[in-house]
């Protein structure tokens, strides 16, 4: 089944269900969320801004104003003699429209 956004782009709902990997709940993300009505998600590395917007609107039934993305490069870590690298992570900072709220605590308001 397909989903069409405001611009007329089609998205596969199966793909949209996998775009959002996890919410990022940290001190910085919480501070951003409270002050600017934004939510931070870990997303697939090949996800686009329109896909992220459509996925958030589909999953959480809220209206999204804007999406900002950034890619955090994985750190090089040493464990004994072996050297490894953490995976690169793409983050999406989703701005919600005024009056919209997204709650992860599981409590119904």
Share above pLDDT 70 across residues of the chain, in percent, rounded to a whole number: 87
The CA distance from 16 to 55, in Å, is 5
Q: Please state the domain extents for the chain.
A: 2-96
The CATH code for residues 2-96 is 3.30.70.330
Which residue from 85, 101, 82 is spatially nearest to 39, judged by alpha carbons? 101
| pTM above threshold 0.85 | no
Share above pLDDT 90 across residues of the chain, in percent, rounded to a whole number: 60
The CA distance from 5 to 11, in Å, is 8
Query: How would residue 6 be classed by pLDDT, with cut points 50, 70 and 90?
Result: low
Mean pLDDT (the chain, rounded)? 87
Q: What are the tens digits of pLDDT across the range 22-73?
A: 999 899 988 988 888 899 999 999 999 999 999 999 999 999 999 999 999 9
């Amino acid at each position: 089944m397909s989903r069409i956004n405001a611009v007329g782009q089609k998205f596969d709902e199966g793909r949209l269900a996998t775009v959002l990997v996890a919410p990022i709940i940290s001190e910085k993300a919480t501070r951003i969320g409270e002050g600017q009505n934004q939510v931070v998600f870990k997303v697939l590395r090949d996800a686009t801004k329109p896909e992220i917007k459509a996925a958030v609107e589909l999953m959480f039934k809220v209206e999204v104003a804007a999406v900002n993305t950034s890619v955090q490069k994985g750190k090089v870590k040493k464990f004994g003699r072996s050297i490894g690298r953490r995976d690169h992570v793409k983050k999406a900072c989703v701005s919600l429209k005024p009056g919209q709220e997204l709650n992860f605590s599981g409590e119904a308001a």
